[in-house]
Amino acid sequence: MNTDQIRNIAIIAHVDHGKTTLVDQLLRQNHIFRENQKVQERFLDSNDLERERGITILSKNISLRYKDVKINIIDTPGHADFSGEVERVLRMADGVLLLVDAFEGTMPQTRFVLQKALNLHLQPIVVINKMDRPNARPAEVLDEIYDLFIDLDVHEDLLDFPVVYASAKQGWSSLDQSQPGADMQPLMETIIGKIPPPLANSGSTQMQIAAIDYSSYTGRIGIGRVFRGSVRVGDSFKLVRRNGSAEDIQIKQLFTFEGLERLPADEVVTGDICAIVGIEDINIGDTIADREHPEPLPIIAIDEPTISMTFTINTSPFFGREGKYVTSRQLHDRLMRETESDVALRVKVGSSPDVFKVSGRGILHLSILMENMRREGYEFAVGQPRVIFKEIDGKKAEPVEELVIDVPAEWMGKVIEIVGQRKATMVKMEEKGNLRKLVYHIPSRGLLGLRNKLLTATSGEAVMYHRFYQYEFFKGSLPHRQNGVMISMGTGQVNAYALNALQDRGLFFVEPGEEVYTGQVVGEYNKEGDIVVNLQKAKKLTNMRAAAADKALKIAPAVKMSLEEYLEFIEQDELVEITPESIRIRKMILDEIERRRVQSRLKKQAG
């Protein structure tokens, strides 16, 4: 295949602006699916977690054929927490489709992904999507996009970007905002006309691995782009690793992307994206280079982690009941395996062999790892998330995030009050239909527990997004969780009678009949300080007991939180216990007397 017949394009956007839906339409209209084939929506979000949460976590590679041109499409995540995934896959592209919602306009992750693309000098095509929305405002959104490009200080040439208007849901695109199109042909024509073909650089072979896949049949699969020369089955090359070491390899199997499939190939030319099978320990960032004169490509730079958490084995009384993998060795091996495919993750052995310090780009980044592990059968416990501080000019510095909150006007005052308590600085406030858009710079510490508080204060109306902004000097201490917790006194089943009697003390996380253990956090106390409660207490039997008495119990439903909400809720002396079937909060020290002894000792040291 000629290099001129290849286009490599990544689809980038803020979360939920329609990337994966757009790819679905392109696949349908280019007849990748059979006429009678039943296809699920958001086809590329194949991972269970991606489908449940409606977000893209892992990048995907597919290709389309249009007018004898092969278009390699890379569907990227929109969340800043998966920045490691975004940065390395953008290396494979020559251009980007920047999708922006016709109502929401530019958002924090729009800026984040666009900045990464422009740093790599990729040609942008702006797609203003969701034109079918009744409150769409494409002209204003286009002005916002121009402002964003200018704000990112791009070269004047890039300001002359093509604009396509589309409704991925309805399956049309158009070059005129006032005229809906019939199909996706205008977008396809724009891609072929505006995205440059790969440069046919002269020199020896260079291919860089940007993603890793795994097959139980063939082992590790390296996915990357050929930047120079060509790669043929049977040829010998040097594999130059990130650390500079090199070893001789032979290409055993090659696959190229055709539609949704990987098809075997004998040779892959400059500019094409392919998968290599049969090289043990191949890793992200490795370069496949000429055997005689190896020239490695620049190492893929990844943003540093901003949040760390301690992972430890499960030591609760319910240890080993639900999980298959419970030992520290199994936990260590699983975490280290994750670092091979997720370059934004860091793992270090902690203060003891059972404790590991895991650092990532945010709570969502780490919670996705935890959710995958519990589904695989792992049991473990994690501590409170902590931001990673740096030293700049001899002073303590902390990560600061750009926070955007969309909230109805009537709740705006409450939001400003809550966010203001967390050392946040308001940068911008503007109207967006009947909503108010508030933009802040806030310490990453201030985000812990903020989403819950805002949703409670605004009756679930507030929507918040954030992205890493920069490191700034330490902003001072922030208020901690105001309320204490209720801790189980004993081990056994929760009694409905006991739960009913304690309801006025606060909100419970457990239900009648559920099994709890000593030291488990069973609810949020409605006052400061912690309280120990007896949930196993049964009603005394008497001769006068009425049969209908127990039926009159009215117990409020238990509060059920997501994994991220649990992580944001806990304090320093608490752990989240994660098993395949349960998520619980517990005190690090389960015994009440021992807990008080330690607290007393810490107070003396502080005083």
Q: Can you give the CATH number for the domain in which 422 is found? A: 3.30.70.240
Print the SS3 string covering 336-355. Answer: HHHHHHCCCCEEEECCCCCE
Instruction: Dig out the tokens for 134 from the structure.
Output: 């009744």
Q: How confident is the model at residue 60 (pLDDT cuts 50, 70, 90)?
A: low
Q: How confident is the model at residue 83 (pLDDT cuts 50, 70, 90)?
A: low
CATH number at residue 239: 2.40.30.10
The verdict on 72 and 184 lying in the same domain is yes
The per-residue pLDDT for 51 is: 43
The verdict on 180 and 262 lying in the same domain is no
* Residue 279 located in a structural domain: yes
- Whole-number Å distance between alpha carbons of 335 and 577: 17
Instruction: Dig out the tokens for 65 from the structure.
Output: 């054929």
The verdict on 113 and 224 lying in the same domain is no
The per-residue pLDDT for 125 is: 92
The verdict on 175 and 253 lying in the same domain is no
- Whole-number Å distance between alpha carbons of 144 and 150: 10
Residues sharing a CB contact under 8 Å with residue 160, sequence separation 6 or more, in sequence order: none
Closest CA to 475 of 401, 424, 405: 424
pLDDT tens-digit profile of 137-184? Answer: 899 999 988 888 888 877 777 778 899 999 888 888 889 888 888 888
Instruction: Dig out the tokens for 28 from the structure.
Output: 């349908």
- Strand (E) positions, 474-526? 485-488, 492-493, 506-508, 515-516, 520-525
Residue 41 has pLDDT above 80, yes or no: no
The per-residue pLDDT for 310 is: 94
**Is 17 annotated as belonging to a binding site?**
yes
CA torsion through residues 575, 577, 583, 585, sign: negative
Answer left, alpha or beta for residue 475, where phi above 0 means left and psi between -120 and 50 means alpha: alpha
3-state secondary structure at position 532? strand
- Whole-number Å distance between alpha carbons of 99 and 195: 15
The verdict on 155 and 278 lying in the same domain is no
* Residue 579 located in a structural domain: no
What single letter denotes the amino acid at residue 591? D
* Residue 506 located in a structural domain: yes
The per-residue pLDDT for 382 is: 94
The per-residue pLDDT for 576 is: 94
Residue 86 has pLDDT above 80, yes or no: no
The verdict on 11 and 96 lying in the same domain is yes
**Is 151 annotated as belonging to a binding site?**
no
* Residue 578 located in a structural domain: no
The per-residue pLDDT for 577 is: 94
Q: What is the mean pLDDT of residues 257-264?
A: 82
The verdict on 16 and 157 lying in the same domain is yes
Answer left, alpha or beta for residue 94, where phi above 0 means left and psi between -120 and 50 means alpha: alpha
Instruction: Count CB neighbours of 556 within 10 A.
Output: 10
444 and 400 Cβ atoms separated by less than 8 Å: yes
In Å, the largest CA–CA distance within the chain is 97
Residue 198 has pLDDT above 70, yes or no: yes
- End position of a domain, from candidates 158, 174, 194: 194
249 and 292 Cβ atoms separated by less than 8 Å: no
The verdict on 29 and 160 lying in the same domain is yes
The verdict on 126 and 225 lying in the same domain is no
CATH number at residue 74: 3.40.50.300
- End position of a domain, from candidates 165, 194, 223: 194
Q: How confident is the model at residue 58 (pLDDT cuts 50, 70, 90)?
A: very low
How far, rounded to the nearest angstrom, does the alpha carbon of residue 229 sit from its chain's CA centroid? 35
**Is 18 annotated as belonging to a binding site?**
yes
Q: Name which residue leads in pLDDT, 536 or 40.
A: 536
- Whole-number Å distance between alpha carbons of 306 and 302: 12
pLDDT tens-digit profile of 392-424? Answer: 888 999 989 888 888 888 888 999 998 988 889
Average pLDDT, the chain: 83
The verdict on 14 and 120 lying in the same domain is yes
Percentage of the chain with pLDDT > 70? 89
Q: What is the mean pLDDT of residues 240-246?
A: 82
- Whole-number Å distance between alpha carbons of 529 and 357: 28
Residue 543 has pLDDT above 60, yes or no: no
Residue 475 DSSP one-character state: -
Q: How confident is the model at residue 316 (pLDDT cuts 50, 70, 90)?
A: very high
Taking each helix axis from N to C end, the angle separating 108-119 and 138-151, rounded to the nearest 10 degrees, works out to 50
Pairing type for strands 123-129 and 95-101 reads: parallel
**Is 14 annotated as belonging to a binding site?**
no
The verdict on 458 and 498 lying in the same domain is no
3-state secondary structure at position 59? coil
- Whole-number Å distance between alpha carbons of 414 and 412: 5
* Residue 151 located in a structural domain: yes
Number of domains in the chain: 4
Pairing type for strands 6-13 and 95-101 reads: parallel
Secondary structure element (H or E) that encloses residue 143, with its range:
helix 138-151
* Residue 64 located in a structural domain: yes
Residues sharing a CB contact under 8 Å with residue 50, sequence separation 6 or more, in sequence order: 42, 56, 57, 58
262 and 227 Cβ atoms separated by less than 8 Å: no
Instruction: Dig out the tokens for 299 from the structure.
Output: 């190492």
Instruction: Dig out the tokens for 492 from the structure.
Output: 């056994």
71 and 223 Cβ atoms separated by less than 8 Å: no
- Strand (E) positions, 433-573? 435-443, 463-473, 485-488, 492-493, 506-508, 515-516, 520-525, 531-533
Secondary structure element (H or E) that encloses residue 128, with its range:
strand 123-129
- Whole-number Å distance between alpha carbons of 178 and 432: 21
288 and 249 Cβ atoms separated by less than 8 Å: yes
Beta bridge mates, 466: 403
9 and 95 Cβ atoms separated by less than 8 Å: yes
Length of the chain: 607
**508: containing domain:** 485-540+554-566+586-606
- Whole-number Å distance between alpha carbons of 219 and 278: 7
129 and 102 Cβ atoms separated by less than 8 Å: yes
119 and 86 Cβ atoms separated by less than 8 Å: no
* Residue 310 located in a structural domain: no
Taking each helix axis from N to C end, the angle separating 83-90 and 108-119, rounded to the nearest 10 degrees, works out to 30
- Whole-number Å distance between alpha carbons of 331 and 368: 16
Q: How confident is the model at residue 440 (pLDDT cuts 50, 70, 90)?
A: very high
The per-residue pLDDT for 545 is: 54
The per-residue pLDDT for 56 is: 43
The verdict on 19 and 105 lying in the same domain is yes
* Residue 158 located in a structural domain: yes
Q: What is the mean pLDDT of residues 208-217?
A: 76
569 and 561 Cβ atoms separated by less than 8 Å: yes
- Whether the pTM exceeds 0.75: the reply is no
3-state secondary structure at position 513? coil
pLDDT tens-digit profile of 87-132? Answer: 777 888 899 999 998 888 887 777 778 888 888 888 899 999 889 8
584 and 575 Cβ atoms separated by less than 8 Å: no
- Whole-number Å distance between alpha carbons of 93 and 272: 10
The per-residue pLDDT for 38 is: 41
- End position of a domain, from candidates 174, 194, 214: 194
